[in-house]
Structure formats: C-alpha cells, structure tokens
C-alpha cells in the first residue's frame, strides 16, 4: 500500500490567494483527519471525518477554512483567502474508525503564504 498520499508537498502562494490541499487516505480506512503543525502551537486537529461525514470541525480556525470528503478515497482542505498566519505544515491522516486504531500520517504539505 502506498500509504496516505498528500499533494502538493510544498505550496508557496501570495496572501489573498485560494489554496487547496489534497489527501488520499489508505484504502479501507474510514476515518480521515486534517492536522496543522506550527512552531508556536504544535500539532492541532482541524477536522475529522468518519465514513465521509464531518464529525468534529471545532479546530477549523475560521470561515476561511473548509474541508470536504466527496468519497472514501479523497479529501480536500481549502483556504480562501489565504493569510501569512496560515503558513504551516498540514498533515492528513487516516485510520479505521474508533479510538483504538492507529492513525497513519501522510508526508504533509508545507504551505507558505507570502
């Protein structure tokens, strides 16, 4: 299995532009998580889905952030408009549903907003 796939790996954009991050979970996994990592705040959960349905989006910073999971093999995290404070590494992870299952992380997308 290829593991969790994220694209792009690096993204540099200008303030005000729309940014879309993509994630393909491991086949058969039915939970998907979006995390953000910064030096100041460490790792934080933004949103997670079970069976393509958003379960907890309390970590989404504001309305500029949105996430979708149209099917079991694809999810997007969109930032519109982007701001310099959104610069971070964004990780996607997947697992089988339930608290007792290991999460597998993708390689991350390093986002820089100028």
Partner 1 sequence: KNEVEQSPQNLTAQEGEFITINCSYSVGISALHWLQQHPGGGIVSLFMLSSGKKKHGRLIATINIQEKHSSLHITASHPRDSAVYICAVSIMEYGNKLVFGAGTILRVKS
Interface segment toward partner 1; rule CB under 8 A; list 19-27, 60-68, 73-81, 87-95: 87-95
Establish if 90 lies at the interface with partner 1 (CB under 8 A): no
Establish if 65 lies at the interface with partner 1 (CB under 8 A): no
| Site size with partner 1, rule: CB under 8 A | 25
Cβ closest to partner 1, residue 81 vs residue 105? 105
Distance, CA of 91 to CA of 9 (rounded, Å): 10
Q: Which of 102, 100, 98 is nearest to 51 (CA)?
A: 98
- DSSP code of residue 87: -
Interface segment toward partner 1; rule CB under 8 A; list 12-20, 64-72, 77-85, 104-112: 104-112
Q: Is the dihedral of CA 106, 14, 12, 24 positive or negative?
A: positive
Residue-level length of the chain: 114
Distance, CA of 18 to CA of 52 (rounded, Å): 23
Rounded least distance, CB 75 to partner 1, Å: 15
Establish if 103 lies at the interface with partner 1 (CB under 8 A): yes
Establish if 102 lies at the interface with partner 1 (CB under 8 A): yes
- DSSP code of residue 86: G
Q: Which of 75, 82, 95, 109 binds partner 1 (CB under 8 A)?
A: 95
């Amino acid at each position: 299995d290829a593991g969790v796939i994220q694209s792009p790996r690096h993204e540099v954009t200008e303030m005000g532009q729309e940014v879309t991050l993509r994630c393909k979970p491991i086949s058969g996994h039915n939970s998907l998580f979006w995390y953000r990592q910064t030096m100041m705040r460490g790792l934080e959960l933004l949103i997670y889905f079970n069976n393509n349905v958003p379960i907890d989006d309390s970590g989404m910073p504001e309305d500029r952030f949105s996430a979708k999971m149209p099917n079991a093999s694809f999810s997007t995290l969109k930032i519109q408009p982007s701001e310099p404070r959104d610069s971070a590494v964004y990780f996607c992870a997947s697992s089988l549903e339930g608290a007792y299952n290991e999460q597998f992380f993708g390689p991350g997308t390093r986002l820089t907003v100028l």
